[in-house]
Structure 1
């Protein structure tokens, strides 16, 4: 068990194209679920683990997010002129995060159950892990129709496969980002390297989870929260 408090990186730079007209004049993290912007649901979870700092990346309609997050003490990593994807965005934000190990968190999902960041922190074992991903059994997801992203063995190691959906929250060591040559790249590049070294792990979430990546996800998330 590790009680270290890690900085939190909130991914908030995307265009939200699957949301259609809902993101024509606002970034996706500002879409409301149950009367509050998506990013505020994420902030609640992040602030509850008392991180030393919270950083959000921005790109699309960045001033709107800056006006919303700045007064809340969130540091901003604005990606211009190009959006950098998750891996490139995390690497750019590294100086602001100021740590070798961090939480990362997508801002387009709603969680129903224990705080996923707190669960990850308690399960983190740095002597054998370089990344610990929060994964949800397919049966516990709301509105998800795929087979999953990962499979998990008895030791908790994960590999690409079916059964578990990556929920968008993890603890990850940053040092593997340093020698990836591309400027724009996905965190999948880092996970592949970590997995090859046998240090990619997953934790199974005990609650429910809803991806709000498309318009139908708003009502599905609100129904999930109403039925807690």
Structure 2
């Protein structure tokens, strides 16, 4: 078992429908923020955390994603035939990621402050955790709508509820995915099992975070990056 985990799944297969015209002919990870594709901002985090192995799944406009990632060392988990969602996609990618817990990172967010992947690695304790999710208080979740995804107990355990937003970065042990019969499913199914077992925890991100899921979030993310300089 890795301690700390040093393999990373980059989620890059989604359709990006909320982006409208910006993703009509390109994948969302190639939408630019501050003059650079979203996927490149994610790769900066991975390199800063000295990730040994990186895997990206591809589906929508997969050829563009493969061309952009050529030469980066990122391995491709090909979902051209059928997009598998976050849970099914991670389960397929485990053959490339290798054994043990892994990091996962959504590629449609911008971060400032401490490297969230490094913080997750430092906070990981595989003896009591099967998932460690990076969270941010809802009032600091730039570009995000809603009341939050989880509550956070003093001991770090999470429950479903309001107050804290999942930022799209985590460490998770994918072993539990083998017990899920569906081929296409959300990682939420695994989280619910781990929450019930008392093995799902949260870690607060100490910097800025912007959900870049819609065109109107791009200037918000660029302003956040400018303020952090």
**Normalising by the residue count of structure 2, what TM-score does the alignment of the two structures yield?**
0.97
* Stretch deviating more after TM superposition (55-64 or 68-77): 68-77
Range with greater deviation from structure 2 (143-152 or 207-216): 143-152
Distance 1:47 1:155 in 2: 30
Partner of residue 201, structure 2: 201
SS in 1 for 2:71: helix
Report what 2:10 is aligned to: 10
- Which portions of structure 1, spanning 4 or more consecutive aligned residues, are displaced by more than 3 angstroms? none
Q: Is the 8 A contact 2:13 2:58 kept in 1?
A: yes
1:48 paired to 2:48: yes
Unaligned runs of 5+ in 1: none
CA deviation map 1:147-206 (0-9, x unaligned): 111000010000011110000000000110111100000000000011110000000111
Give CA deviations for 1:14-58 in whole Å, capped at 9, x if unaligned: 000010110011100000000100000000001111122100000
The TM-score with structure 1 as length reference comes to 0.97
- Cα separation, 1, equivalents of 2:53 and 2:143: 32
Instruction: Answer yes or no: is the 8 Å Cα contact 1:136–1:164 preserved in 2.
Output: yes
Q: How many residues align?
A: 227
Q: Supply the distance in 2 between the matched residues of 1:37 and 1:51 (Cα, whole angstroms).
A: 20
**1:5, CA displacement in angstroms?**
4.2
Q: Partners of 1:148 and 1:118 in 2: how far apart?
A: 24
Change (3 A) 1:145 1:5: closer
Q: Name the counterpart of 2:214.
A: 214
Choose 125-134 or 137-146, whichever is displaced more.
137-146
Cα deviation, residue 141, structure 1: 1.6
Question: Is 1:85 aligned to residue 85 of structure 2?
Answer: yes
CA deviation after TM superposition for structure 1 residue 99, in Å: 2.2
Q: Structure 1 CA distance, aligned partners of 2:80 and 2:179?
A: 22
For 2:95 and 2:145, locate their aligned partners in 1 and report how far apart those are by CA, in whole Å.
38
What's 1:152 paired with?
Answer: 152
Counterparts of 2:223 and 2:164 in 1: how far apart (Å)?
A: 22
CA distance in 2, matches of 1:122, 1:29: 27
Tell me the distance in 2 between the aligned counterparts of 1:80 and 1:116.
30
Q: Distance in 2 between matches of 1:174 and 1:5?
A: 12
Determine the structure 2 residue equivalent to 1:163. Answer: 163
